[in-house]
Structure 1
Amino acid sequence: MFFAYGSTRKIERLNKLVFNIRDNVNRRVKTDYPRSIKKWEHVWIPMSDGAKLAATIWIPDDAHDNPVPALLEYLPYRKNDFTAIRDSARHPYFAGHGYASIRVDIRGTGDSDGVLLDEYLKQEQDDCLEVLDWIEEQPWSTGSVGMFGKSWGGFNSLQVAARQHPALKTIITLCSTDDRYADDVHYRGGNVMGQDMLWWASTMFAYNARPQDPSVVGKSWKENWLDRLNTSPFVESWLRHQRRDEYWKHGSVCEDYSKVNIPVFAVSGWQDGYTDAVLRMLENLPHAKGLIGPWAHEFPEVAIPEPAIGFLQECLRWWDQWLKGIDTGIKDEPQLISWIQNSELPEVTYDERPGKWVVDHTWPSSNVTSQSFWFSKGKLARHVTDEEKMIIPGKQEHGYYAGVFCPFGQPGDLPADQRLENGKSVVFTSEPFDETIELLGRPVFHANVSVDQENAILAVRLCDKAPTGESTLISWGMLNLTHRDSHEHPEPLMPGRIYTVEIGLDVLGQQVPAGHRLEVSVAPTYWPQAWPSPKPVTLSIYSGAGTHIDLPIRTPRQEDASWQQHFERPEISEVMEKEILREEERTRNLIHDQVNDIWILEDYSDEGERRLLDNGLEYGSINKNTYTIKGNDPLSAYVTSEWDLKVGRGKWQTRLKAYSKMSSDETTFHLTNTMIAFENNKEVFNKTWKKEIPRDHV
């Protein structure tokens, strides 16, 4: 007998919002600008070692006579096909307002030379410094440059800022992190990210294998393609570094915040996986401002949930201030502008999250105070409780209703009603609140705990419980307890010994209405977010003074009311034309084989196929990820990721089929990655990588 939980509907990804932008009355498509522009395609930027990076530049017509500052977006995601539609929505906008807006393919991607061997290598940064040198020398350039980007482009904007190139005056970093180990898709709280480690590695495994365009680079494309196909999967390197070592410290600007000494505009959304970094940057970077909306992992002018904002206008205010020396008032505005979300019943997809904008002039904010709740006998109390031992057995399937770690705005991304999870954990519930409260910041969980194994996980969920019973996940966190004192130097646990631990949950901006309750749920499992401990774990938690959760309570300010109309209506430039060859589709189904107690989550995304009318390129992809575990058997956990990806034009067609699998026994992780490539339906490459990597306190 099987139970299927999920939905099937046409995917409404954020790039599709851009495709259909003309039909959205909330967004204005700009076609007239203060300066007329032109687009330079297939611009080659030479590197000192002889390699060339491929660039597209949108620039004012008169820039040679009237030089302009430059904006750089530096990505591995292929400017001529995969991000071409997205790029067309904002780069011309910046150019039309007096900037050279430059989109560069990182070495080893798109039409640029070489191969990409891993994320955020020093080579990537060094190349970018040479790109900045090149921009500075151009006759159309004033010599002042800003970098911007979302996700990878947000990461490398921060990393390059820390290299302190004199031409780089400011950055706008979206959906990024300052800490590659503690706050990315590989490890969280010292745990291997079961849902994301292999999926993201498999994504780059497939993406990196895409070829250069023969019509741009010539006959050399084939040799380079074979080199790209033969690149080792990134997951092998990521899994060899299971603790916070030099591998992860590289590219983590939190190692020395003082190196980022230029103005930083840090942006994210409450549904994004990288919101925590915004508040850390505000605390540690002297010239940083932050913006947090209700959004998923996307640019705020096209993001969902609504409200989207006129983010490109905000970018112009930022660029004009720091690159043109125009006083736009932005540097005098509050350090943090954020969206406090209204309480909503749980949904796996929200098109809109009602709420309000609030402002805090500094962060940490004097408007936010900490309030503690203590744990006892299923209750959250406002006073210290008597000490008692509460036993929490592990259920391996706990976590299947958590949603995805980093939502992109696809249907089904978000957590379901947490009553589906609560039976697999121990839940502590407050009394109904007498008045509405607002939470802004990071909840922190403190506890005295013991376990019966040398290796264990502690996962904590914070939920808003409605009077009608529904439970909405509003924050969560987890800790590999062998990392309780250090991510760099983990130590095994002594079974039965009581340890004092602290877990920072994800930051939030959330209203909790009068009459609602808060729930805190505790468990020693959280699959597939965390890879399971090697053996089943029973966790004990001890109430008393040391076991409590601190919540960040924000006092509303009268000034907040004046900011509700601060942002303008979203604007974008006119997007390039395309032809849809195959529509998009997504399903996300949870299956429980009750006879064998096997749980399977199947996450399928057909991102469709399209042809760009501008250059004739055709591209599309299908991705299926499967997460499997058997009740009471942590060693049964495994993940598979499959990709079917196409790029071509006319009589030149390429196709990639990639398969990745990750499993483990008590001592070892097992990895299998297979890449098969076709040119015009003829197989030209077939290779399998197999690797065994010892478990290191995970």
Structure 2
Amino acid sequence: MSEEPEIITGLPYEVEVREHVPVEMGDGVSVSLKLWLPVGAGPVPAVLEAMPYRKDDVALSDDHVRMAYVAGHGYACARMDLRGSGNSEGVLLGEYHPQEQEDIAEVIGWLAAQTWCTGAVGMTGMSWSGCNTLHLAARRPPALKAAISVYSADDHYGNDIHYMGGAVLAFYLAVWGHVMLSFNARTPDPAVVGDAWRAMWLERLEANVPFSFERIGHQRRDAYWSRFSVRDDPGAIEVPMLVVGGWSDAYTDSALRLVRDLPGVRRGIIGPWGHTWPERAVPGPSIGFLQETVRWWDRWLKDVPNGVENEPLLRWFAQDTAEPRADLTSRGGRWYGTDEVPSPGAGSAWYLTEAGLDPVAPGDGRTVSHSSALTLGASAGSWLPYGTLTDLPTDQREDDALSLSFDSAVLAEDTIVFGEPVLDLVVSADRPVATVVARLCAVAPDGASSLVARGVLNLTHRDGHAAPEPLEPGREYRVRVPLSGVGERIPAGHRLRVALSTQYWPWIWPAPETPTLGVRLGEGSRLLLPTTVPDDAPVSFGPPRIAAPPPVSSLRAHEPEMTPGFDPESGRRTFRLVRDLNGDRVFPSGLRYADDERCDFSIHPDDPLSASVDLDRTIRIGRADWRTRIRVRTRMTSTATEFTLWSSVTAWEGDHEIFTRDYTHTTGRDHV
């Protein structure tokens, strides 16, 4: 079990909380801030986080335990509801919209100008707010002096919720568009904004659009993605940047790149974690991350000579290969430090041969053929693990048996893999569109297969994601499949396994026709595996600590589950994910928030065009004398030439329906 954080009550400074602080933007729209101010500290630097996730209810506890801790160490902490979210005015126009960056830059300037601020501002955040932290660092507002970005994407085409290796992410593109359509339909709180709440809510409902409609229209890397992908110009970021990633998280490759490529002062931490803050991480072990953030701010916002710049460039956790379970809560292993982050593909070669994985280079071999079942992928787990009981990959044996697999001999000694493996392949296909999915597994003596890393390549993107070209059936191509970054100690007695497939449902949307892949064995098809013998210099962290949480009552804890199903009448197989991320809670203000969501990923084993994603979410927000409810449904399907997304939003005040709208968007399949 991951260690529970220690609750700290005796902070160096008493903390004053100021609720609902309005800040007017240049166009007259007012955004809402919450402030945590250290009493008696005099002018101090400010730290900002900006999100659309409702600071006054859903994110209230999570914000407070972190912000109050940092404020108690002598910082003015601010949490901003983005325009059109929570209790801020206006409408949220899109994910990472230019207006968002404008607003945040204005708030940074406002914070710097306050009498309780020294004029130095830091920016922090996880996921969405980790991304806009990168965006604002690249924008360079004068008062921004340092940043901390946790689980964020430097490349919103290649390492985000829409595409993977040029293939459409069935598990998450429509899902995330559905989530944000739901979130953007939520009401502000009348107890905060007053009588204007209904007009603000109707304004949001009228302006609300599914973000996925825009994203599915950009199936290749075009100029659209450059406006918010700092990977295109990492040199724009000059402020000291602490980057945090997790081996179980979806954004680890971005963390490795940022630590490797940013030109200025930067440091990185990568633990075994999923998409949860490192002081309360799953899988654990957790670390004293808030102590690390205070040290970072002390050095770069207060000029305290505490030596953080002398830390290793990257501190990383070598996790021990573990039993493959979806509900794993902690990983064994140890921390290391390094000043060198290997480039993708650096490492020793293991060749795909008729005998399996072989470290000795053979000559060219024969071509073997493989076509995967459309239902392969049952052991994949969630694309974005949040630390719930459904998230992590399970035993890979069933999917391995349905794949083209290559095993090594038994490892004679422990092997520590650190970096981003790459798979070079010589392949052909019998269809113009085909995808190759590669999984690297560690196979225990009892046969259990644990996922180590995976990667996807839409073969029409073999020469890059900007200009895909159809395959010429039967022609051989040399391709490179990047695998996800990993830090893992694989014990002696295990075997390495490379498993190749042409399907990966429900992660990857299937190609229009079921392809057969040809893989030429021998020297041209090899795994490049980055292994290391780490320096034994000790790396350690303090125990996890947080400030005391506010009194929030849970009427129903969130109870996610993911279950496979089969309909004997239609022959369809379905994965049902009940996410229920927020449960049913009552907040100190008296506001009650309840959230239910169901996701169905369904396909017929004989028909790639039968794939569908069906999503249904209901959110209830209210008090004893005031009730609102929204229901949002989304469906994604395809033909051989088009994708269709449909969504529906209905809103009620009490039992009275006040708004309903259907949205439908169809776009062509662009070599996917």
**TM bucket by the smaller chain?**
over 0.9
CA pair 383-51 structure 1, distance change in 2 beyond 3 A: same
1:373 aligns with 2:347: no
Residue segments in structure 1 that go unaligned for 5+ positions in a row? 1-16, 18-23
| Equivalent position of 1:263 in the other structure | 240
Give 1:91 shift: 0.7
Counterpart selection for 2:152 from 176, 186, 192:
176
Identity over aligned pairs, percent: 40
1:631 aligns with 2:609: no
1:36 aligns with 2:14: yes
1:511 aligns with 2:489: yes
One-letter identity of the residue aligned with 1:407: P
- What pairs up with 1:291-306 in 2 under 5 angstroms? 291-306=269-284
Counterpart selection for 1:214 from 178, 185, 190:
190
Q: SS in structure 1 opposite 2:216?
A: helix
Counterpart selection for 1:355 from 311, 322, 333:
333
One-letter identity of the residue aligned with 1:234: F
Counterpart selection for 1:689 from 651, 663, 669:
663
CA contact (8 A) 2:66 2:546 kept: yes
- How many angstroms apart in 2 are the aligned matches of 1:26 and 1:453? 52
Counterpart selection for 1:57 from 29, 35, 57:
35
- What pairs up with 1:468-547 in 2 under 5 angstroms? 468-547=446-525
More deviation in 582-591 or 423-432? Answer: 582-591
1:332-389 alpha-carbon deviations (Å, 9 max, x no partner): 11001000011212111111100000110232399x9611000112500112233210
Give 1:510 shift: 0.7
CA pair 651-378 structure 1, distance change in 2 beyond 3 A: farther
Give 1:620 shift: 1.6
Q: SS in structure 1 opposite 2:530?
A: strand
One-letter identity of the residue aligned with 2:161: V
More deviation in 283-292 or 658-667? Answer: 283-292
Give 1:406 shift: 1.1
1:572 aligns with 2:546: yes
| Equivalent position of 2:223 in the other structure | 246
Q: SS in structure 2 opposite 1:553?
A: coil
| Equivalent position of 1:364 in the other structure | 342
Q: SS in structure 2 opposite 1:229?
A: helix
1:426 aligns with 2:426: no
- How many angstroms apart in 2 are the aligned matches of 1:210 and 1:412? 27
More deviation in 594-603 or 667-676? Answer: 594-603
- What pairs up with 1:589-604 in 2 under 5 angstroms? 589-593=563-567, 597-604=571-578
CA contact (8 A) 1:334 1:361 kept: yes
| Equivalent position of 2:367 in the other structure | 389
Residue segments in structure 2 that go unaligned for 5+ positions in a row? none
CA contact (8 A) 1:369 1:554 kept: no
1:321 aligns with 2:299: yes
Instruction: Output the TM-score relative to the length of structure 1.
Output: 0.94
Counterpart selection for 1:588 from 562, 583, 599:
562
CA contact (8 A) 1:651 1:680 kept: no
1:404-425 alpha-carbon deviations (Å, 9 max, x no partner): 1110001021111111101221
Number of matched pairs: 668
- How many angstroms apart in 2 are the aligned matches of 1:594 and 1:663? 21
- How many angstroms apart in 2 are the aligned matches of 1:211 and 1:369? 51
Counterpart selection for 2:23 from 45, 49, 58:
45
1:171-202 alpha-carbon deviations (Å, 9 max, x no partner): 10000010000000101101110011111111
- How many angstroms apart in 2 are the aligned matches of 1:505 and 1:317? 33
Instruction: Output the TM-score relative to the length of structure 2.
Output: 0.97
- How many angstroms apart in 2 are the aligned matches of 1:605 and 1:493? 38
| Equivalent position of 2:583 in the other structure | 608
One-letter identity of the residue aligned with 1:570: P
- How many angstroms apart in 1 are the aligned matches of 2:536 and 2:506? 43
Q: CA RMSD in A?
A: 1.5
- How many angstroms apart in 2 are the aligned matches of 1:589 and 1:25? 28
CA contact (8 A) 2:315 2:338 kept: yes
1:670 aligns with 2:647: no
Q: SS in structure 2 opposite 1:182?
A: coil
Q: SS in structure 2 opposite 1:219?
A: helix
More deviation in 341-350 or 436-445? Answer: 341-350
| Equivalent position of 1:190 in the other structure | 166
Give 1:250 shift: 1.1
Give 1:306 shift: 1.8
More deviation in 641-650 or 75-84? Answer: 641-650
